[in-house]
């Protein structure tokens, strides 16, 4: 049994903690009950329902979240009815008549509802303006409370929004410092040990609100951009004697925030001033390591700092994201573990009180009492540390701590109430958490003794509601992508790129019947970001080679067909394992030959691995005969048999993933496959063949035939001994393949099966109530990720009239923040297009678009390489070529729609039906989309790219393809013939017992 990572309970400390806790509870009981948990009014009903009814809590919080975006009374009433229904009447009985008459006078309902939510937001937000803030500081000063200021504002999506946030910070520093200059008397909590005055002006800043140029996988450039915004704040803070505290946000920004903090305060200008602090989240498993390194950094530079120790506010988010990505969950999974870790880290901070001023941010009386007990044990002066609590919460605890002689600081969010709803929702979630201390204490659900118990004692019995569980054997599990927010992974990828770049120029032969054929013309494959760099050369196959490959495949088919399914499945699993072991090398190849940015290349390899493992699992299932209908005296089963010989014709945009899927699906089904990779990414195809051979693919079962589509590709499609074609590519080529395959030739044994996936003209609808903070980043990446070279890429943004101007303005400004350049650099989002022909075609489409619509944005692109800048057209119409034809580049058209009816008609009016999506916070609109938006993959409130094997089987219909679903449960059946076996098992009136 491994030792506990937490403190071993000490009887003396436990006794002292209990005594302090009981003293606190006694003082708290003398205070007025907190408004949030009062026994009357709407708040009480809200909190009571939310705690008892998780479904209601979800709907309530979603309504609160959407309210700021609702511009009319009618919209408020509609959403109120959709989210809360009859509960809205119970919440406010006066609404009953109003809801019934809402179609006639919606303002009668909307006005009090909006006012009530604004009033609720006022419980947690100290004010909207600078004047409101000054009033709150005055109130706090009279009570003896110090103040720390938090300007409401989450992620910014463009430079203009970041500029506004920067100005707000400067303005707050100016206005509050002027107030303090007039009101010179500090409050009790502004005085440290030995009567030393502390910085009274205390401002928290969020990294995500400073600049849109934050990319966790590219911390170097992100930090450079962040420093540009931070320096003016730090300079003003130095001038006015303020303390600047870095808030901590989601885990993906944690390392970047710590690196930024250390880096900027190592600059000579800020090495000693201003006073500084940073938040550390105790619910993170690696929190102790970070904290120890931070204190060591402070000691090495003799730089005093404040550390705000918090539990953490993103527990559910971090857990779910980690589960989705199959990454280690970064947070402790049991609530008592976070509490126990907090106590351990509290002791460490107190032990370092000579260099660190600890800010203990907690509403938990046990946590607070433990800090006091440990501080007394260590002889730390009560004024050498402070307690912090949120505005509008735990008021009775704040006052009680002041009465006990401790310093207390109130964390005061300031900003517009309705736009600050994200903050409000987070606070509501904290208050209604099933294990939240405030809830348990104020609802009388536990005794004082229980509330003061050591959290270590509760760990064993605590539930793990969302913990990762071991994967069962034989069950498909998606490969985890590389987490490039981790410095070690970035270093490994850089090394892999360097190593692969040093080995370029290899010649790749044909492989037919296991033999390498090199006496052919060799074609160079180049780096689209740097066409002078040759990645490798490949031997160009001839028509005779194509015939030889077919003949070899026909000869190898009977033996491979008879190979046990489990052996075929194990071959795929070995391929997957080899890919996983070579992941970073393969990523490097995709970055160099296909121009894929790091994250896109890594996702491509994950998908290839997933195809191998998923189809292995699915084929084992299909190998088991299925009883069609139990009937006495007959054995009736269905089984499958492979089709024969096929050709896999793959595209260049997912050069490993799609090619692998087109090869291994028919292969595991017992077919022989001829690999015909895209000309632009043939080295990747040759590497796949190398892996297949290493994994044990028999000679002749898989043949590697690089060449040009117009000669050997067309010849193979029309070959009478080719039984099926797997194709992904353009509409023109796909339709030609479909036509050619439909012509039956003399001597042809099977009707050719065509598994055909073509392109799209994919649309995303932005509803009037959409969350634009989520919709804009999703739309940007869907349109411009990998330079828009995905068949699923966003090409049409359909924005409803009411929100069109606001959305378009923010979107266009956000386009500036999309990094374009060399994909070998980790922060690149927009790399090159694949070749010169593609560049010319896209540029031609852009020129055509200028004649139809308004060129609203065009970025800058490198002059070397095949780069096309991000391009956005507005005032586009459905009949414009820019909104009708597939582009396959970083170009998007924005269309205006009057309502959802018109928007849905625009989506469905396309020739294509591949991907599409809707951002809306209306349950009815989302339900309509499910029924009415006719696309193969529909995405609601998320980006429309990034399909994952099994989770999102991929493929469309109309001119997007034949309706097949790669990575889906029925996909293998495309490469098999169904067979039914019927046996009479009755003999003289008797049947076997099993029958």
Q: How far apart are CA 692 and CA 514, in angstroms?
A: 11
- Beta strands, E only, 483-631: 506-508, 510-512, 515-517, 522-527, 530-539, 626-627
3-state DSSP of 97-130: HHHHCCCCCCHHHHHHHHHHHHHHHCCCCCECCH
H or E element that contains 938? strand 937-940
Q: What is the DSSP string of 258-318?
A: HHHHHHHTTSGGGSS-SEEEEEEETTBTTHHHHHHHHHHHHHHTT--EEEEEE--S-HHHH
CB 355 within 8 A of CB 295: yes
Backbone angles phi, psi at 754, to 5 degrees: -115, 120
- Helix H or strand E encompassing 645: strand 645-649
Locate all alpha helices (DSSP H) within 669-800, ordered by sequence. Answer: 682-695, 714-718, 731-741, 772-784
Dist CA 700 CA 922 (whole Å): 56
Q: How far is CA 206 from the centre of its chain?
A: 19
* Residue 815 is among the residues annotated as catalytic for this protein: no
Nearest to 650, CA basis, from 642, 660, 640, 641:
660
Rounded Cα–Cα distance for residues 818 and 830 (Å): 7
Q: Is 713 exposed, middle or buried (0-12, 13-18, 19+ CB in 10 A)?
A: buried
Alpha helices in 885-922 (DSSP H): 900-908
Whats the size of the chain, residue-wise?
A: 995
Instruction: Report the distance separating Cα 257 and Cα 247, nearest Å.
Output: 9
| Token representation of residue 364 | 């938990």
Q: Which residue has the tokens 């705000």?
A: 308
217 closest CA partner among 596, 483, 545, 609: 483
Residues 791, 802, 815, 886: which is the catalytic one? 791
Helix (H, G, I), strand (E, B) or coil at 347: helix
Q: What is the rounded distance in angstroms from the CA atom of residue 731 to the CA atom of residue 911?
A: 11
Please say if 757 is a catalytic residue. yes
The conformation of residue 353, written as its DSSP 8-state character, comes to T
Q: For residue 684, which of 804, 601, 779 has the smallest C-alpha distance?
A: 601
Coil, helix or strand at residue 387: strand
Give all strands of the β-sheet with 530-539 in edge-to-edge order.
506-508, 530-539, 522-527
How many other C-beta atoms are found inside a 10 Å radius of the C-beta of residue 524? 13
Report d(CA 166, CA 833) in Å as an integer: 36
Report the DSSP pairing between strands 672-676 and 645-649: parallel
Phi, psi (deg, nearest 5) at residue 67: -50, -40
Q: Which of 757, 802, 815, 886 is catalytic?
A: 757
Please give the Cα distance from 776 to 635 (Å, whole number): 58
| Tally of helices (H runs) and strands (E runs) in the chain | 34, 30
For residue 262, the tally of other CB atoms under 10 A from its CB is 16
- Ranges of beta strands (E only) in 80-232 are 146-151, 202-205
Residue 342, SS3?
A: helix
Q: How many CB atoms lie within 10 A of CB 100?
A: 11
| Of the candidates 257, 252, 258, 421, the residue with the CA atom closest to the CA atom of residue 321 | 252
Kindly state the DSSP code that residue 980 receives in the 8-state scheme.
Answer: E
**Contact, 304 vs 357, CB < 8 A?**
yes
Which positions are annotated as active-site residues?
757, 791
């Amino acid at each position: 049994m491994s030792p506990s990572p937490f403190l071993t309970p000490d009887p003396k400390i436990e006794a002292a903690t209990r005594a302090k806790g009981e003293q606190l509870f006694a003082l708290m009981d003398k205070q007025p009950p907190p408004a949030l948990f009062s026994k009357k009014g709407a708040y009480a009903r809200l909190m009571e329902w939310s705690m008892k009814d998780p479904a209601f809590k979800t709907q309530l919080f979603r309504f609160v979240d959407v309210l700021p975006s609702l511009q009319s009374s009618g919209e408020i009433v509609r959403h109120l009815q959709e989210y809360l229904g009859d509960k809205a009447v119970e919440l406010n009985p006066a609404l009953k008549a109003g809801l019934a008459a809402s179609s006639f006078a919606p303002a009668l309902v909307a006005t009090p509802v909006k006012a009530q939510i604004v009033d609720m937001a006022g419980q947690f937000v100290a004010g909207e303006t600078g004047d409101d803030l000054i009033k709150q500081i005055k109130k706090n000063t009279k009570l003896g409370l110090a103040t720390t200021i938090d300007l409401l504002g989450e992620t910014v999506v463009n430079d203009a929004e970041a500029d506004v946030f920067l100005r707000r910070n400067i303005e707050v520093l100016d206005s509050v410092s002027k107030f303090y200059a007039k009101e010179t008397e500090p409050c009790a909590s502004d005085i440290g040990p030995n009567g030393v005055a502390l910085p009274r002006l205390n401002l928290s800043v969020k990294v995500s609100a400073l600049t849109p140029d934050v990319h966790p996988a590219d911390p170097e450039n992100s930090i450079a951009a962040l420093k540009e915004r931070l320096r003016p704040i730090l300079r003003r803070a130095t001038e006015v004697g303020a303390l600047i505290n870095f808030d901590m946000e989601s885990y993906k920004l944690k390392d970047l925030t710590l690196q930024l903090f250390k880096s900027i305060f190592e600059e000579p200008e800020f090495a000693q001033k201003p006073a500084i602090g940073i938040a550390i989240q105790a619910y993170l498993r690696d929190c102790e390591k970070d904290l120890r390194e931070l204190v060591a950094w402070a000691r090495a530079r003799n730089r005093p700092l404040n550390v705000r120790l918090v539990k953490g506010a993103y527990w559910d988010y971090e857990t779910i994201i980690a589960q989705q990505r199959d990454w280690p969950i970064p947070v402790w999974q049991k609530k008592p573990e976070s509490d126990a870790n907090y106590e351990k880290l509290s002791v460490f901070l107190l032990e370092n009180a000579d260099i660190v001023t600890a800010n203990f941010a907690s509403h938990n009386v046990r946590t607070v009492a433990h800090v006091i007990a440990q501080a007394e044990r260590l002889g730390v002066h009560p004024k050498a540390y402070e307690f912090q609590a949120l505005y509008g919460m735990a008021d009775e605890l704040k006052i009680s701590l002041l009465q006990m002689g401790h310093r207390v600081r109130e964390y005061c969010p300031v900003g517009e109430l309705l736009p600050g709803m994200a903050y409000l929702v987070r606070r509501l979630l904290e208050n209604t958490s099933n294990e939240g201390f405030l809830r348990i204490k104020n609802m009388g659900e536990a005794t004082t003794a229980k509330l003061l118990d050591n959290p270590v004692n509760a760990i064993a019995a605590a539930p793990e509601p969302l913990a990762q569980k071991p994967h069962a054997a034989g069950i498909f599990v998606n490969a985890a992508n590389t987490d490039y927010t981790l410095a070690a992974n970035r270093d490994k990828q850089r090394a892999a790129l360097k190593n692969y770049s040093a080995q370029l120029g290899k010649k790749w032969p044909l492989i037919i019947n296991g033999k390498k054929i090199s006496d052919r013309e060799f074609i160079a494959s180049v780096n689209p970001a740097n066409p002078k760099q040759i990645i490798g050369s490949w031997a160009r196959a001839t028509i005779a080679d194509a015939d030889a490959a077919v003949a070899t495949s026909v000869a190898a088919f009977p033996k491979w067909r008879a190979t046990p399914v489990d052996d075929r499945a194990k071959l795929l699993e070995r391929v997957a394992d080899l890919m996983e072991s070579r992941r970073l090398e393969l990523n490097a190849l995709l970055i160099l030959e296909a121009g894929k940015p790091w994250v896109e290349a890594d996702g491509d390899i994950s998908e290839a691995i997933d195809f191998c493992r998923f189809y292995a699992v699915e084929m084992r299932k299909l190998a088991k005969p299925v009883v069609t209908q139990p009937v006495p005296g007959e054995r009736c089963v269905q089984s499958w048999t492979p089709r024969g010989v096929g050709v896999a014709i793959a595209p260049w945009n997912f050069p490993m993933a799609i090619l692998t899927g087109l090869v291994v699906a028919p292969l595991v089904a017992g077919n022989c496959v001829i690999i015909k990779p895209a000309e632009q990414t043939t080295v990747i195809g040759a590497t796949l063949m190398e892996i297949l051979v290493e994994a044990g693919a028999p000679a002749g079962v898989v043949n590697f035939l690089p060449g040009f589509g117009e000669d050997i590709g067309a010849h193979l499609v029309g070959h009478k001994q080719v039984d099926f074609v797997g194709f992904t590519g353009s509409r023109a080529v796909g339709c030609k393949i479909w036509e050619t395959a439909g012509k039956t030739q003399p001597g042809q044994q099977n009707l050719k099966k065509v598994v055909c996936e073509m392109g799209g003209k994919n649309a995303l609808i932005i509803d009037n109530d959409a969350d634009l903070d989520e919709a804009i980043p999703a739309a940007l990446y869907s349109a411009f990720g990998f330079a828009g070279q995905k068949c699923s890429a966003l090409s049409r943004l359909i924005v409803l009239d009411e929100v069109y101007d606001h959305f378009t303005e923010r979107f266009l400004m956000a386009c500036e923040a999309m990094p374009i350049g060399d994909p070998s650099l980790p922060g690149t989002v927009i790399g090159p297009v694949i070749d010169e022909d593609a560049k010319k075609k896209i540029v031609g489409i852009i020129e055509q678009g200028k004649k139809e619509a308004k060129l609203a944005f065009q970025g800058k692109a490198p002059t070397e390489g095949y780069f096309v800048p991000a391009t956005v057209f507005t005032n586009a119409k459905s009949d414009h070529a820019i909104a009708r034809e597939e582009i396959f580049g970083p170009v998007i058209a924005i269309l205006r729609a009057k309502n959802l009816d018109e928007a849905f008609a625009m989506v469905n009016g396309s020739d294509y039906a591949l991907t599409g999506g809707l951002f809306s916070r209306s349950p009815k609109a989302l339900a309509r989309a499910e029924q009415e938006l006719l696309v193969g993959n529909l995405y609601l409130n998320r980006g429309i790219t990034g399909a994952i094997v099994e989770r999102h089987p991929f493929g469309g219909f109309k001119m997007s393809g034949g309706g097949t679903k790669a990575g889906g449960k029925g996909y293998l059946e495309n490469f098999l013939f169904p067979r039914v076996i019927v046996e009479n098992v009755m003999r003289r009136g008797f049947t076997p017992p099993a029958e």
